[in-house]
Chain A
Amino acid sequence: MSDQANREVAIEFLHATFEIPGRPALLRDVTLSVKRGETLVLLGRSGAGKTTALKLINRLLETTRGEVRVEGRSTTEWDAIALRRHIGYVVQEIGLFPHFTVEQNIALVPRLERWAEDRIRARVREMLVLTGLDPEKFLERYPHQLSGGQRQRVGVARALAADPPILLMDEPFGALDPLTRGELQQEFQMLQKRLGKTIVIVTHDVGEALLLGTRIGLIESGELAGVYTPKEFLRSQQSVAAAYVAQFRAYEQLEGGA
């Protein structure tokens, strides 16, 4: 691959396999590249291996065969701490530190990176505004004093605080009620356009995948079943993709019939 092409690839899975001895592989021989600035959605059932794939990127897990490269370097060549601070990570709302205020949660990585305090203060406010929360109201609150949607916004603010070029999101909107989820998804779409980050999202929600993904990687029983643009996905003959689309269409028809 030429240098030019290399620079356009942010994350690369090369025959990545992850298995725990004595059990079927959680992820098998996945080869896939994520381009700089695109949003790749990993879609699949619970337990299909999506989260495993995500954790291989920031080395919460390490491949047992093959490798994952981030910005041209294998994750095992990276210093794990430096790699993780280079990559934002959003999990369901439970990932916030319960003993930290909103301010402390968002300022976490900048503080670890020893930014100057006034720069941190400005950055935290900027992140709250960016994610649609009023700094005056929220800075001093604790996670348990927030609604699920607000917690999720703080989670995104925390992940973006140190301005990492890559963002990983594991079912980021999964625990929210449908209305809040819809709102956040739309806001996130705007954010995506504004920030131009490389994003990998794990979800089992086909609507979310179609809405947010530049491309959709379909994962089925630990294997990559295919990678599609949303348009291709809707037309795909691949059986699992077709099943997802059929389920998605069922809602649409309901809408049309009403």
Chain B
Amino acid sequence: MNLVTFFLHHQGEIWQAVLEHVWLVGATMFLAVAIGVPLGILVARRPWLSKPILGSANIAETIPSLALFGFLLPVPWIGGRADRLAITALTLYALLPIIRNTSAGIAGVDPAVRESARAMGMTERQILFQVELPLSLSTVLAGVRIATVLTIGVATIAAAVGAGGLGEFIFRGLAMVNDQLILAGAIPAAMLAIAADLGIGLLEQRLRPVR
């Protein structure tokens, strides 16, 4: 009962934090898709680039998030504002699943289909946009889903550099040893993650190529 009253009492602040959180995650995913999908295509086209690109994305993934925020702090422009800093770090984390799934999706397109596309006189560009990407869309989306869920979680740490979001409550709660405050951050974050997982999962299923 206590928790419910607490939530009702701090409704305004919680909604505010949810919006901030959604903004951080949304901006991150926009960038991660805009960078990750082209890189994934590149990896599928030029297998020799797979090691350096996937390797770098892998390394980014292994850097502890607090440390990554720290590393980026001195970088000009990026380190200048908390949300830029947070979004840059979060984007680096989100890249790996998107690159990997894009390249796997494209590599998984039936070679017979690709060859018949070439034989019909489609250009490389037309094959990419009309055949390969549509056929790998559900695999790409699976990567976006994993990355989004991951980002929603890691974004709570962005509060440590002052970027706001649901992490604010968690850090405040930790400092004040107040469970209710921690839950005020953790529960909405978990719900966001579940909603994103289900929503993108549904989209993914609808776009799965029929066989």
**Which residues does A use to contact B, with CB under 8 Å?**
58, 60, 81-85, 89, 91-92, 94-99, 108-109, 112, 142, 144, 158, 168
Return chain B residues, CB-CB under 8 Å to A83.
121
Q: Can you report 11 A-B residue pairs in the complex whose CB atoms are below 8 A from each other?
A: A58-B119, A84-B119, A91-B115, A91-B116, A94-B110, A95-B112, A95-B119, A96-B113, A97-B117, A98-B211, A99-B210
Return chain A residues, CB-CB under 8 Å to B211.
98, 144
Q: Would A84 and B120 count as touching, CB distance under 8 A?
A: yes
Q: Would A60 and B122 count as touching, CB distance under 8 A?
A: no
Return chain A residues, CB-CB under 8 Å to B134.
99
Instruction: Across the A-B interface, give the 7 residue pairs with the lowest CB-CB distance, nearest first.
Output: A95-B116, A84-B121, A85-B121, A89-B119, A94-B112, A81-B121, A99-B134
Q: Would B113 and A60 count as touching, CB distance under 8 A?
A: no
Closest residue on chain B to residue A84 by CB atoms? B121
Q: Would B120 and A89 count as touching, CB distance under 8 A?
A: yes
Return chain A residues, CB-CB under 8 Å to B113.
94-98
CB distance from B134 to the nearest CB of A (A): 5
Instruction: Give chain B interface residues in 127-177, CB to chain A under 8 Å.
Output: 131, 134-135
B62 in contact (CB, < 8 A) = no
CB distance from A127 to the nearest CB of B (A): 14
Return chain A residues, CB-CB under 8 Å to B10.
none
Measured between alpha carbons, how far is A108 from B120 in the docked complex, in Å?
Answer: 8
Q: Would B123 and A81 count as touching, CB distance under 8 A?
A: yes
Given contact pairs A98-B135, A98-B211, A109 touches B118 in the complex (Cβ within 8 A): no
Interface centre among A91, A92, A95, A96 (most CB of B within 10 A): A95
Closest residue on chain A to residue B119 by CB atoms? A89
CB distance from A199 to the nearest CB of B (A): 15
Measured between alpha carbons, how far is A144 from B131 in the docked complex, in Å?
Answer: 16
Return chain B residues, CB-CB under 8 Å to A60.
115, 118-119
Q: Would B210 and A144 count as touching, CB distance under 8 A?
A: yes
Q: Would A91 and B112 count as touching, CB distance under 8 A?
A: yes
B80 in contact (CB, < 8 A) = no
B209 in contact (CB, < 8 A) = yes
Measured between alpha carbons, how far is A92 from B112 in the docked complex, in Å?
Answer: 9
CB distance from A188 to the nearest CB of B (A): 19
Measured between alpha carbons, how far is A156 from B92 in the docked complex, in Å?
Answer: 48
CB distance from A155 to the nearest CB of B (A): 9
Closest residue on chain B to residue A145 by CB atoms? B210
B126 in contact (CB, < 8 A) = yes
Return chain A residues, CB-CB under 8 Å to B116.
89, 91, 95-97
Closest residue on chain B to residue A113 by CB atoms? B121
Return chain B residues, CB-CB under 8 Å to A81.
121-123
Closest residue on chain A to residue B117 by CB atoms? A97
Instruction: Give chain B interface residues in 40-99, CB to chain A under 8 Å.
Output: none
Interface centre among A84, A158, A168 (most CB of B within 10 A): A84
Q: Would A84 and B135 count as touching, CB distance under 8 A?
A: no
Q: Which of A92, A98, A112, A142 contacts B120 (CB 8 A)?
A: A112
Return chain B residues, CB-CB under 8 Å to A82.
121
Measured between alpha carbons, how far is A89 from B126 in the docked complex, in Å?
Answer: 18
Return chain A residues, CB-CB under 8 Å to B122.
81, 108, 112
Return chain A residues, CB-CB under 8 Å to B123.
81
Q: Would A85 and B112 count as touching, CB distance under 8 A?
A: no
Q: Which of A98, A112, A168 contacts B210 (CB 8 A)?
A: A98
CB distance from B108 to the nearest CB of A (A): 12
Measured between alpha carbons, how far is A99 from B116 in the docked complex, in Å?
Answer: 14
Closest residue on chain A to residue B110 by CB atoms? A94
Inter-chain pairs besides A60-B119, A81-B122, A98-B209, 20 sampled, C-beta below 8 Å: A84-B119, A84-B121, A85-B121, A89-B116, A92-B112, A94-B110, A94-B112, A94-B113, A95-B112, A95-B116, A96-B116, A97-B113, A98-B110, A98-B135, A99-B134, A109-B121, A112-B126, A142-B210, A144-B210, A158-B120
Measured between alpha carbons, how far is A97 from B127 in the docked complex, in Å?
Answer: 11
Measured between alpha carbons, how far is A58 from B123 in the docked complex, in Å?
Answer: 14
